[in-house]
Amino acid sequence: MITKDELVGYMRAAFARSGFWRSLQLWLQFGVALAAGLAVFVSADVPTYYLALGGVALLAAWVWADASASGHRDAAEAARRALILWDGLGQQPSAAALFDLRQSFKANAAAAKALEDPNYYASSYPPGPRRLAEIIEESAFWSGDLQRQSAVFMGLAFGGMTVLLVGAALIVLPLAPNTLLLTLARLFLVFLVFVLSSDVWGTCFGHFSGARAIGAIGARLRAAGLAGFPEADVFLAASNYNAAVERAPMQVPITYRFNKKRLNELWIAYKEARLAERSSS
């Protein structure tokens, strides 16, 4: 039977694999758009035929990447829900439930082993509503910030692509004949197809929305702490947190690597300040 530490490792490995496949999806969609853009400049039948075949192959690869990303994320989210209850309330899932969780993971066992962390949820309270509240509050702190960083990243990516396209158009337009203007218009439509098909703007908005929802849950838990951690409030916050995290887009993997140290330092400083505040009261 899988242990709690092993479940942490598999959960983190599954999230990492989901992030990898999600990133690959965006590159594959860009490849499809690029093939469509190149087709604008090609008039010969044979090259156009090969570009069409390449587009179909990239589309098939995108479907595979989408299914893989969703499968890994579903497994990781199920593990996260189980770990919150297991670590927060001390309620170990049944052997059958743990077996089902283990079966859902497709991550390599060695990779999962390397990601095990016995202190993944760093709460000093015994199992109960107070420990569960601190686990959710810490998770909301990390998730909310990473969602905001992901929104900024996607916004910059969208803005960068738009600026490049508009800049290129401004350089070429003054000297462009009518045929080239028509070609540029087609390229712009290809760009719009890429942005909409990969849902760049929708993903950016989803990250901002997720950050707001998760941040509100953290504030609600701090209020629950002042009221002595009522069970109903804590359980409702945990339920709302699960819903907000699963509704939000998968965070951009690079944001975790660049913000891990900063967020660790901020959370430790917050816990120390809160402990000092409670000791003086």
Q: Among 84, 109, 134, which residue terminates a domain? A: 109
Same domain, 152 and 62: no
Task: Tally the domains of the chain.
Answer: 2
Which range of residues forms the domain containing residue 145?
125-281
In the predicted model, what is the mean pLDDT of residues 205-210? 88
In a domain, 119, yes or no: no
Q: Is residue 63 part of a domain?
A: yes
Residue 144 binned pLDDT confidence (cut-offs 50, 70, 90): very high
Q: Please check whether residue 115 lies inside any domain of the structure.
A: no
Quote the mean pLDDT of the chain. Answer: 81
Residue 59 pLDDT > 90:
no
139 and 14 both lie in a single domain: no
Tens of pLDDT, residues 88-124:
998 899 989 999 998 999 878 888 889 988 888 877 7
Q: Are residues 215 and 135 in the same domain?
A: yes
Model confidence, pTM: 0.81
Residue 141 within any structural domain of the chain: yes
Last residue of a domain, one of 76, 109, 142: 109
Q: Is 221 a domain residue?
A: yes
Residue 233 makes CB contacts below 8 A (sequence gap 6+) with: 220, 224, 227
Residues 156 and 87 reside in one and the same domain: no
The DSSP string of 108-130 is: -HHHHHHT--TTSS---SPTTHH
> Domain for residue 244, yes or no?
yes
Q: How far apart are CA 263 and CA 146, in angstroms?
A: 9
Q: Which residue has the higher pLDDT, 145 or 176?
A: 145
Q: Are residues 96 and 139 in the same domain?
A: no
pLDDT tier, 11 (very low <50, low <70, confident <90, very high otherwise):
very high
* Last residue of one domain, picked from the residues 77, 109, 141: 109
Same domain, 151 and 250: yes
Write the CA distances from 51 to 48, 56, 146, 190, 281, integer angstroms: 5, 9, 38, 14, 70
pLDDT of residue 26: 78
55 close to 85: Cβ distance less than 8 angstroms: no
Average pLDDT over every residue of 136-153:
91
The answer, yes or no, to whether residue 56 has pLDDT greater than 90, is no
Same-domain status, 159 and 67: no
pLDDT for the residue 9: 93
pLDDT in tens, 166-192: 666 666 556 556 565 556 666 666 666
Claim to verify: residue 63 and residue 8 sit in the same structural domain: yes
| 46 part of a folded domain | yes
Q: Is the residue at 117 inside a domain?
A: no
User: Does 76 lie in the same domain as 2?
Assistant: yes
Cα 259 to its chain centre, rounded Å, is 14
Do 99 and 202 lie in one domain? The reply is no
Q: Do 151 and 247 belong to one domain?
A: yes
Mean pLDDT value of segment 27-47: 67
* Percent of the chain clearing pLDDT 90 (strictly above): 21
User: Is it the case that residue 145 has pLDDT exceeding 90?
Assistant: yes
Same domain, 212 and 80: no
| Token pair in block for residue 276 | 């000092």
pLDDT confidence of residue 163: 73
pLDDT at 143: 92
Here the tokens at position 36 are 């469509």
Answer whether residue 272 shows pLDDT above 90: no
